[in-house]
Structure 1
Amino acid sequence: MTPILTSLAEVSDRYDALFCDLWGCLHNGVRAHPEAVAALQAFRARGGKVVLLTNAPRPRADVARQVAKLGVPDDAWDTIATSGDSARLAMFKCVVGTRVYHIGEQRDLTFFEPIHLIEDCPTIERVPLPEAEGIVCTGPFDALADPAVNRPDFLYAKQKGLKLLCANPDIVVDRGDTREWCAGALAALYSEMGGESLYFGKPYPPVYDLARRRLAELGQSVADARILAVGDGIHTDIKGALGEDIDSLFVTGGLAAAETKTATDPDQAALDAFVAEAQTQPTYAIGQLR
């Protein structure tokens, strides 16, 4: 049985740092959740550090600007680690070559700017698919379109043996009441078609290595036993925490609200059934971060 909390404060004294997800926990893509903001502010007030750990396919500076626009104040977090930065580290190590076909929106072009963690970043050129050495996917061209629209391009890419770098392993995200496709859906399709997809966000290790590096930049040495991962994705946030051997708080009112019958709090039986089916056990659960 997964213990259900009514607030983060019930267990916060057990931890010195949070790896906190954004979408579905701290905001809904439209506005910040005030109770979640207050919970993070309270955690920091008692000396804890908050790393915003997100599968956003963009540099952390872009994410900082985004959350500010959504109403998340600076005093609710300390630093940011993004799947975008984790994937950029790999891209600038040329894991998919230097001439790449980019799948994504114009707003994601900052992905291709040099990253300070690598000296003498090579130039990455965005080119048409027939000229590409690999694919960089920061998201679909149209977040509402079925990923299957990419099948013709993916068939061609697979035949050429191109690798696909996925900057956001999430399959879907809810922007307010609208569900949108993410880069992970395209990467999964490419893999199903026989192509090779490379992942760099949650639940994969590289983004946790980056999160620990960001935490260390704060001058904070925190043992894994004193880190709590907070998130609404059972197959990303919670699975990733298990893989890193850190505790997790599953926010059931996000992506799994229907399956866990979450209004204010999840239904215990529905939650336990969902967790059992996912074969991924969180340390705790809560309806909304508060």
Structure 2
Amino acid sequence: MTDYGQSPTFGLALDPGVDQLDRTFRLAGSADEAGLDYLAVQDHAYQAGHLDTWTLITRLTAETRRITFLTDVLDLQLRPPAMLAKAAASLGVLTEGRLTLGLGGGTFTDAIAGMGGGRRTRGEMVAYAEESLHVMRAALAGGGVRLVSDHHAIEGYSAGPVPPAPIPLWLGAQKSKMLAVTGRSADGWISPLNIYVPPDEVPAKQKIIDEAAREAGRDPARIRRIYNVIGAIGRFRGSQGLIGDVRVWTETLTEWVVELGFDTFVFWPMTDHQAQFEVFAAEVVPAVREQVSQIRGQR
């Protein structure tokens, strides 16, 4: 059993497809009004039908008032870290801190190369991603940034502006080397969808993160744990994802907090996005928060 004690938070995934714009804007407004914690947008810039994630989020921040935006996750091989930190700091200033950066090393080698990115081996990608985290952390804090290595050639950058609140750097990871980078260098772990990393595989991955964190002198409990959850609430004919009524969703997410160690859930509806979101926000979210509080209070 693993419970890191973080307060549960909840988000909704938005589709960056250009043909889904009307629905995306409606959902963003609804989630903002409902008090959800995050709106998450994936980043597959090489998909012709997808809007650029950064541009879409920037527009959506102007249509919302309080909700935080999560990049889920930005491809670091297509977005150089110093420039990305500049963009993030700028948006952090403009939105008064409504931004959390989910970052990924980039696994689709051919697609990345097709857009002019580097063609890196798996090991090179891991090293590049970890160095990028350090570059971004330094740049977001302001001051001078310099890193000349096998993976970066940042010869001297006077970073700024400094955002009004620290911007968390969460890392998308699935395999052991990137999980270890998460433990050493990131503020949070973003797990792939629950159909790609099923619950029974989670404890072993959490262990890798925790061990790497301790070896680096970090407290594992301070690293956020985020699960992208695809599924449907209610009757739905489908074998993948989390399928069930409000009770099933409430009990399952509660268990994933107190048993698996997750603290943040990003909902990816499989059907009728608006109706699914409304049930999730109005019934599942408060019920999970209440059950987690009760269980923790009994320990």
TM category, shorter: 0.3 to 0.5
Instruction: Output the TM-score relative to the length of structure 1.
Output: 0.35
Report which structure shows greater RCO (CA 8 Å, sep ≥6): 1
Instruction: Output the TM-score relative to the length of structure 2.
Output: 0.34
